[in-house]
Amino acid sequence: TGRVQLRRRVTLTSSEERDPLRFRLASSDKIESESNVSYRIGNGLTIKVASGQKPKIDGSLLYLPLKLASQQPQEIVIEYLWE
């Protein structure tokens, strides 16, 4: 009832090694961890990283720390749930 869901798949590739990188998932004054891969953003959004990477919180920023190896694609799958 009133729920909307979006699944986003992103593939990153680099011609040379890139480390460290941050992939921004969300920015909010209110970020709460619900599990190792699921986070509540504000009052109505839940973000889940379905591809297995572990997000980090830095103040008002939720991000994925990434290290890209040369010519090695890295896939990120993120699920957004609005209630």
**Which stretches of the chain drop beneath a pLDDT of 50?**
none
Those residues whose C-beta lies under 8 Å from the C-beta of residue 35, and which sit 6 or more positions away, are none
pLDDT for the residue 1: 52
pTM value is 0.90
The whole-angstrom separation of Cα 73 and Cα 42 is 32
Q: Which residue pairs, CB below 8 angstroms and at least 24 apart, start in 31-38? A: 31/57, 31/60, 31/62, 33/57
